[in-house]
């Protein structure tokens, strides 16, 4: 294992670090120490990738070697698994404002302290509090039978004893919108739109549109209730919840999601041609607000400690499952990546800040609070990446940096390529929790996870530990630690992101 195998391009020098000699001097020592650690821990450390000749345009050999070593060590490290297993078994659901949410914050604080991070703290966040209560539903006539459904997050309750009406089926928001005034008078609108299974999750856009806005659109057409086919691809008999909102000034009607199987049932009953009546009861309650917290842990930078690289995920989860995938895995990935960096003999230049936000799911309270608290420090936030798309393998890298910094991204992409990650351009959107960073034009990155199976369990009772693949989790940590190390150590700067 030697850094001499990695050769650096002699072509592009504009953004090269100023102190390569020093970095180079550290490299061999770093590797010897890592090798010693690996031997002591009985780990098999894979050979660092053989970079092809003069392929690194910007990064110094020392940085490349260190990033490579971190990446490869991550592929042997199961602490992300330990994190998500612990969070899932010892806490489970962490719905904003609940006791589980509070226990999640305590658990994360205790764990991150035990892992040896610096500046571990909880920063208070006020979150909305909503209780799902119970949800029951059934077809009434002509073919009565019970169905599986779940209230959408934020829905009002039905009248006590439930709500019964004839079902009006539409296949899309467009079809609903095209109804004339009163076109759904007195009806329960059923939006029977099926979500597409894709690797990149692009089917979720339409799914969110009906889930978030279906109730108000249906109410405008006269409907008394809303049912949607679950915004998810599950083939199990489980319903997908998720946030919805009422438009100002529009009558609020109770909104629920049917499992895909029960949506099939309702559609099949309606194909018989007779009016189908449906009954459901939701006992949801709006309970105002409650206190939660963003949890923060840091690896303080050696040279520019005030410059912050954000590794974000959200600590809260929906109430139905255990939040193992969404987003326990994301928390585990970023915590484990930061932990690997904390264990280096020398810290990177900048501070790595692990940010586990409160209430992403039900209104982005934590991200908003973070943005307000750190508004004046946004110019010191140099980059952000968020893990919040499950536990599938990372397959794509997207950046959002000025064009003249793209050589850095090219180098990063080369380091990620052995993980099966391909560069996908410079239009990264960042995760929902990175919104304050995006708005401040902080460079953001997407390490896009394979979402093919994500929407089978997203926002359901099946968001459980068994859905997490330890190997895919390690690959995620490898990708995140590589990216985090590069942006924290790189001694140029990434500038501000294009709008």
394 binds its own copies (CB under 8 A): no
d(CA 59, CA 415): 11
Across 243-258, b (16+ Cβ under 10 Å) vs e yields bbebeeeeeebbbbbb
> What residues from 238 to 257 belong to the interface with its own copies (CB under 8 A)?
238
CB of 195 to its own copies, least distance (A): 16
User: Smaller CB distance to its own copies: residue 77 or 319?
Assistant: 319
91 binds its own copies (CB under 8 A): yes
CB of 98 to its own copies, least distance (A): 11
12 binds its own copies (CB under 8 A): no
114 binds its own copies (CB under 8 A): no
CB of 130 to its own copies, least distance (A): 17
273 binds its own copies (CB under 8 A): no
140 binds its own copies (CB under 8 A): no
Q: Which stretch binds its own copies (CB under 8 A): 26-34, 142-150, 172-180, 340-348?
A: 142-150
User: Smaller CB distance to its own copies: residue 21 or 142?
Assistant: 142
469 binds its own copies (CB under 8 A): no
Q: What is the DSSP string of 377-435?
A: GGGGEEEEEE--S-SSPEEEEEEE--GGGHHHHHHHHHHHGGGT-EE--S-----GGGH
315 binds its own copies (CB under 8 A): no
Tell me which of 281, 307, 360, 386 is the catalytic residue.
Answer: 360
Does residue 331 contact residue 355 with C-beta atoms inside 8 Å?
no
Question: Is cis: bond before 367, omega within 30 of 0?
Answer: no
133 binds its own copies (CB under 8 A): no
225-229 β-sheet, strand order:
145-147, 135-141, 277-282, 163-170, 188-191, 225-229, 255-258, 149-151
Helix (H) or strand (E) holding 461: none
Q: Which stretch binds its own copies (CB under 8 A): 230-238, 307-315, 363-371, 392-400?
A: 230-238
Across-strand partners of 123?
294
Q: Which two tokens stand for residue 35?
A: 């090798």
> What residues from 57 to 86 belong to the interface with its own copies (CB under 8 A)?
85
Of the candidate residues 21, 124, 144, 186, the single one contacting its own copies (CB under 8 A): 144
For the CA atoms of 439, 444, 447, 448, what is the dihedral angle to 10 degrees? 30
Does residue 233 contact residue 455 with C-beta atoms inside 8 Å?
yes
Window 145-174: contact mask with its own copies (x via CB under 8 A): xx-x--------------------------
Of the candidate residues 264, 291, 343, 469, the single one contacting its own copies (CB under 8 A): 264
Length of the chain, in residues: 499
What letter would DSSP give residue 8? Answer: B
User: Smaller CB distance to its own copies: residue 212 or 321?
Assistant: 321
User: Smaller CB distance to its own copies: residue 124 or 144?
Assistant: 144
Of the candidate residues 51, 63, 223, 322, the single one contacting its own copies (CB under 8 A): 322
User: Smaller CB distance to its own copies: residue 182 or 275?
Assistant: 275
143 binds its own copies (CB under 8 A): yes
Of the candidate residues 326, 433, 462, 493, the single one contacting its own copies (CB under 8 A): 462
The number of CA neighbours under 13 Å toward the Cβ of 114 is 9
Of the candidate residues 272, 273, 376, 499, the single one contacting its own copies (CB under 8 A): 272
User: Smaller CB distance to its own copies: residue 107 or 370?
Assistant: 107
90 binds its own copies (CB under 8 A): yes
265 binds its own copies (CB under 8 A): yes
Of the candidate residues 17, 48, 61, 93, the single one contacting its own copies (CB under 8 A): 93
Sign of CA dihedral 258, 264, 268, 273: positive
User: Smaller CB distance to its own copies: residue 107 or 374?
Assistant: 107
Annotated active-site residue 360? The verdict is yes
Neighbours of 113 (CB within 10 A): 13
Does residue 215 contact residue 244 with C-beta atoms inside 8 Å?
yes
The rounded radius of gyration (Å) of the Cα atoms in the chain is 25
The number of CA neighbours under 13 Å toward the Cβ of 216 is 11
Of the candidate residues 315, 334, 447, 465, the single one contacting its own copies (CB under 8 A): 465
Residue among 2, 68, 52 nearest 486 (CA) = 68
Phi, psi of 416 (to 5 degrees): -85, -20
131 binds its own copies (CB under 8 A): no
417 binds its own copies (CB under 8 A): no
Of the candidate residues 250, 268, 287, 375, the single one contacting its own copies (CB under 8 A): 268
Contacts of 175 (CB under 8 A, 6+ apart): none
CB of 330 to its own copies, least distance (A): 20
Contacts of 399 (CB under 8 A, 6+ apart): 406, 409, 412, 425, 426, 428, 443, 444, 445
Residues with catalytic roles: 360
Residues lying near its own copies in the complex (CB under 8 A):
85, 88-93, 99-100, 103, 142-146, 148, 235-238, 261, 264-265, 268-269, 272, 321-322, 461-462, 464-466
């Amino acid at each position: 294992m030697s850094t001499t195998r990695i050769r650096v391009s002699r072509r592009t020098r504009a953004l090269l670090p100023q102190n390569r000699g020093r970095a180079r001097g550290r490299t061999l020592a770093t590797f010897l120490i890592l090798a010693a650690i690996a031997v002591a821990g009985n780990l098999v450390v894979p050979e660092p990738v053989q970079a092809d000749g003069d392929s690194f345009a910007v990064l110094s050999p020392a940085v490349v070697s260190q990033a490579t070593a971190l990446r490869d060590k991550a592929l042997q490290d199961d602490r992300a698994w330990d994190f998500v297993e612990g969070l899932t078994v010892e806490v489970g659901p962490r719905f904003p404002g609940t006791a589980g949410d509070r226990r999640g914050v305590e658990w994360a604080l205790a764990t991150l302290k035990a892992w040896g991070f610096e500046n571990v703290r909880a920063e208070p966040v006020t979150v909305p509090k909503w209780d799902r209560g119970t949800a029951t539903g059934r077809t009434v006539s002509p073919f009565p039978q019970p169905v599986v459904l779940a209230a959408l997050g934020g829905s009002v309750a039905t009248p006590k004893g439930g709500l019964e009406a004839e079902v009006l089926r539409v296949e899309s928001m467009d079809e609903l919108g095209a109804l004339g005034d009163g076109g759904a008078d007195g009806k329960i609108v059923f939006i029977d739109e099926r979500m597409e299974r894709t690797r990149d999750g692009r089917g979720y856009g339409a799914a969110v549109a009906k889930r978030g806005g279906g109730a108000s659109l249906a109410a405008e057409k006269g409907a008394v209730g809303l049912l949607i086919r679950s915004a998810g691809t599950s083939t199990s008999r489980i319903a997908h919840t998720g946030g919805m909102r009422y438009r100002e000034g529009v009558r609020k009607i109770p909104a629920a999601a049917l499992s895909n199987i029960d949506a099939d049932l309702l559609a099949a009953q309606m194909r018989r041609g007779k009016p189908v009546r449906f009954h459901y009861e939701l006992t949801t309650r709006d309970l105002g607000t409650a206190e939660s917290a963003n949890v923060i842990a840091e690896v303080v930078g050696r040279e520019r400690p005030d410059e912050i690289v954000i590794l974000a995920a959200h600590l809260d989860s929906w109430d139905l499952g255990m939040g193992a995938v969404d987003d326990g895995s994301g928390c585990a990935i970023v915590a484990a990546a930061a932990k690997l960096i904390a264990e280096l003999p020398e810290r990177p230049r900048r501070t790595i800040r692990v940010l586990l936000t409160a209430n992403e799911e039900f209104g982005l309270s934590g991200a908003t609070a973070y943005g307000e608290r750190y508004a004046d420090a946004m110019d010191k936030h140099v980059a952000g990446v968020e893990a919040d798309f499950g536990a599938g393998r990372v397959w794509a890298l997207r950046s959002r940096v000025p064009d003249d910094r793209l050589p850095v991204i090219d180098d990063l992409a080369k380091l990620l390529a052995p993980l099966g990650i391909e560069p996908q351009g410079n239009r990264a959107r960042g995760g929902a929790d990175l919104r304050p960073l995006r708005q401040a034009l902080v460079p953001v990155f997407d390490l896009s996870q394979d979402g093919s199976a994500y929407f089978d369990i997203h926002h359901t009772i099946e968001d459980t530990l068994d859905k997490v693949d330890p190997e895919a989790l390690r690959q995620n940590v490898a990708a995140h630690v590589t990216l985090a190390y590069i942006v924290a150590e790189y001694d140029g700067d990434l500038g501000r992101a294009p709008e």
